Amino acid sequence: MNPIKIPATMTLATAGKVPGTGKVPGTGIEPKAGRFILLAGPRSLNQVMLALVARLGEQAPVRVLDGGNRFNAYLLTRQIRGRPEVLERITVSRAFTCYQVLALLEGTPASPSPFIVLDLLNTFYDESVQSGERKRLLRGCIAQLHRLEKNAGGAVSVHPPAVPGQTARELLEMLRAASPETYFVDRPAPPPEPLRLF
């Protein structure tokens, strides 16, 4: 099968805040009710996703669903400068198998709070689960993403598998087809700023 055609590319920029929005400048990432945005790229994309969580958390509650153990509380705390009122608005749930990802999404109530899903396909790359079963579970996840997007929208990140294969490409294509807005990131994010002590 030919590689998936890239409908759009984006360059990751240093995250900053656009007043009154959850938008991270330079990325075009802004969850809106009725859709979820899909971002596919290297693991360094996680820094941008955490910046988005921080910006959304500054304004209102945000739900983070972690499918690839990518949530880094230390980096998030640095981005929000340790403000407890922002941390209180961020809830995090984690899944460690593709079955748990579906259960996590099914158990997440629809609400006006946006959702962020980190590395959704990570557990779906587990080849000990049959290909057909992984596709069935992903179809269920996509249905749940559409349910959750109705009230507040969200953003979903995915990363390439360590060993690319036919099923991994099919899973990514299924997810891409379900999202009205997909970005394939082809450049790594800038390195984080060093911690300043004084």
139, part of any domain: yes
- Per-residue pLDDT tens over the stretch 175-196: 999 998 888 877 555 566 676 6
| pTM for the predicted model, two decimal places | 0.79
Q: Look up the domain containing 143 and give its range.
A: 35-89+98-109+116-174
Output the domain CATH number for residue 148. 3.40.50.300
Is residue 46 a contact partner of residue 73, using CB atoms and an 8 Å limit? no
More confident residue, 140 or 8: 140
More confident residue, 162 or 28: 162
Three-state secondary-structure class, residue 63: strand
pLDDT, mean of residues 78-93: 90
Amino acid at 93: S
Most confidently predicted of 15-24, 75-84, 87-96: 87-96
Tell me whether residue 25 is in a domain: no
C-alpha 37/C-alpha 144 separation (Å) is 14
The total of structural domains in the chain comes to 1
**Is residue 170 situated within a structural domain?**
yes
pLDDT band, residue 158 (cuts 50/70/90):
very high
Position 91 pLDDT exceeds 60? yes
Least confident among 37-51, 109-123, 130-144, 145-159? 37-51
Q: Yes or no: say if 114 and 63 are a contact pair by the CB < 8 Å rule.
A: yes
